[in-house]
Amino acid sequence: MLNALIVEDEYLAREELSYMIREHSTINIVAALEDGLEAFKYLQEHEVDVIFLDINIPSIDGLLLAKNLHKSSHPPLIVFVTAYKEFAVDAFEVEAFDYILKPYNEPRIINLLHKLESQAGLPAKPAEASPVVAPVRTVNLSKGESIIVTQCADIYYAEAEEKLTWVYTATDRFMMSMTLSEFIARLPAEGFFRCHRSFCVNIQKIREIAPWFNSTYLIKLYDLKAEIPVSRSHTKAFRQLMHL
């Protein structure tokens, strides 16, 4: 089995890549980190076979980290992840195994994963017929002893409060006995964005994006007076999502 480390500071990109690796290969993801220095420290104590390494990451950029790893006695295979095609040349200067461009091209990644497995002498994960899954349209919200079947499009945002989650529509709010992560898992991924550890927002309900301190943002919504913060760790993904 190949053990892999993902180093990617964009939450959405990290989650999407993790999903495709799990779905289309037998490669085992041992950790997913956001920071180059954090990855360097991790690799001092752990050996991995392959690293999916974003070039533009905090602390130590991906190219510098790769150059350091290349000097080790048993360097892992490096697969660079970048949004900029011009970095591909730099990638091969450190003898990278391959590179992935963002936004991801799933067939390209599947082919890369099969190449990695072939390199290690592993059989590729057999393709499975994809079941037809109806898109998520509604979610059940609790109101007293009643269950209110609610259109996902009618949800404006959700807010965590310890192990509970408050869900807001234009006219009401609902208390859910679950964590925010558990509630988000019930929503369609393409319509909602987790902008903060305590907040998830419906992208279609955003009316205004106001600059806030430390280069972050406050989100203002249609119909509601609430102001939703975008944390620093989610700002980069938010900018990309909203084309800022």
> What are the backbone angles phi and psi of residue 61, rounded to the nearest 5°?
-70, 160
Query: Which H helix or E strand runs over 193?
Result: strand 192-196
What pTM did the predictor assign?
0.53
Amino acid at 213: F
Q: For residue 89, is pLDDT > 90?
A: no
Pick the CATH number of 138-242 from 3.20.20.80, 2.40.50.1020, 3.90.230.10, 3.40.50.10420: 2.40.50.1020
The span from the CA of 167 to the CA of 160, in Å, is 9
Question: Residues 6 or more apart from 91 whose CB is under 8 A from it?
Answer: 55, 63, 66, 78, 80, 82, 99
What's the CATH fold of domain 3-119?
Answer: Rossmann fold (3.40.50)
The span from the CA of 24 to the CA of 15, in Å, is 14
pLDDT tens for each residue of 199-229: 999 999 999 999 988 889 999 999 999 999 9
Residue 161: what pLDDT?
92
Residue 130: what pLDDT?
47
pLDDT tens for each residue of 155-171: 999 999 988 999 999 99
Determine contact, residues 94/72, Cβ cutoff 8 Å.
no
Strands 138-143 and 146-151, bridge-based pairing: antiparallel
The mean per-residue pLDDT over the stretch 167-186 comes to 92
Helix (H, G, I), strand (E, B) or coil at 1: coil
Neighbours of 139 (CB within 10 A): 19
Our measurement of the distance from residue 30's CA atom to the centroid of its chain's CA atoms, rounded to an integer in Å, reads: 16
Return the domain boundaries, the chain. Answer: 3-119, 138-242
Q: For residue 46, is pLDDT > 60?
A: yes
Q: For residue 190, is pLDDT > 70?
A: yes
Q: For residue 41, is pLDDT > 90?
A: yes
Q: Choose between 168 and 62: higher pLDDT.
A: 168
Same fold, 3-119 and 138-242: no
Q: Give CA separation, 132 vs 129, 135, 137, 175, in Å.
A: 9, 9, 15, 32
